Amino acid sequence: MNTRRITTGITILFIGVVLLLSQLDTISFNWAGIFRYWPLFIVLAGIRMLVPRDQQIGQFVAIGSTVVILGFLTYIGLSTPKEPLLTQLLKSKTLGVKYNDDPNDKTNYTTEKLNVPLHDKIHSATLNLDLGATSLRNDSSTTSQIFSAYNTSKEYLLGVTVHGESTEKIDINLKGKFQNKDFNSKNNNTFIALNPNIVWNLNFDVGAIDAKLDLSPYKIEALDIDAGATSLKLKLGQPLATTKISMDAGASSIEIMIPKNAACRITSDNALSSTDYEGDFLKSEGEAKSINYDTATQKFDFDINGGIASIKIRRY
């Protein structure tokens, strides 16, 4: 019995079957999730070297260990949810990011939860997010505050400043920075909560973050995204009269979900072929709009600029 030939054949068969089933969308296999267990292949090679090749027990041990390890990797690949590479890097303990401390920044930073109190006269607000190397998530809606935010890591600090444009509108600025030059990015999650009764203008000036935000409960008047290497997933509710969404991004992966029948127009200074969108659209040079756009009283206007690597507009 040629043990090496059998174990190699089992491994190749395993890879081929998983790839085939993944292509047929029969299974969802997280290849990136099993890479962290690559030392198992060194263990397997060591077992093959130690067991006697000329004895049947050694052959069974080599074949059995191959089957067990591949079975374990199958379980990991099937049970671990897929995540963007950026998300996995942000969860890594060894992620290295430059520490920048602006001496002119007068923001007071803290590890405590930040709250912007509610005032009865205020009906609209602008939220400016200046964050990097963190995961951004929703906490929940808040009706007792206008806005709140906190971070789960003691090494990442948040600071907020508030400016009143008038008695009815305010500007909220949320910034983040690292407490030390050498920091551990594990569990570095920033959570924000917005008041659903306020009309919001959102400005995301972000770099190297993984953001998953359900904004569907909120009244979004405008959304401006200026992003670097970012993984961004947003879910929006029904638009206002016109909800404007501007995107200027580099090597980013952006997915935005909008209601099924929401009117939508997409304009871009780059090829619309780089944008993946669902629904019936009328297309012209540099523009695509849903067939109900001209007659709708509520609509989304997307303006896409820059070298966006991947942008998807989905319906729900």
Domain ranges of the chain: 3-82, 109-315
Mean of all residue pLDDT scores within the chain: 83
Please tell me the predicted confidence (pLDDT) of residue 62: 81
Percent of the chain with pLDDT over 90: 37
Q: How confident is the model at residue 90 (pLDDT cuts 50, 70, 90)?
A: very low
Over residues 23-73, the pLDDT tens digits come to: 776 787 877 778 778 888 888 888 877 777 667 787 788 888 889 988 888
Q: What is the pTM of this model?
A: 0.67
Q: Is the pLDDT of residue 146 over 70?
A: yes
Q: How confident is the model at residue 235 (pLDDT cuts 50, 70, 90)?
A: very high
Tens of pLDDT along 254-313? 889 999 999 999 998 765 446 778 888 888 888 899 999 999 999 999 998 766 557 788
Instruction: Please check the confidence at residue 180 and state whether its pLDDT lies above 60.
Output: yes
CA–CA separation, 305 and 299 (whole Å): 20
Per residue, the 3-state secondary structure of the chain, as one string, reads CCHHHHHHHHHHHHHHHHHHHHHCCCCCCCHHHHHCCCHHHHHHHHHHHHCCCCCHHHHHHHHHHHHHHHHHHHHHHHHCCCCCHHHHHHCCCCCCCCCCCCCCCCCCEECCCEEEECCCCCCEEEEEEEEECCEEEECCCCCCEEEEEEECCCCEEEEEEEEECCCCEEEEEEEEEECCCCCCCCCCEEEEEECCCCEEEEEEEEECCEEEEEECCCEEEEEEEEECCCEEEEEECCCCCEEEEEEEECCCEEEEEECCCCEEEEEECCCHHHEEECCCEEEECCEEEECCCCCCCCEEEEEEECCCCEEEEEEC
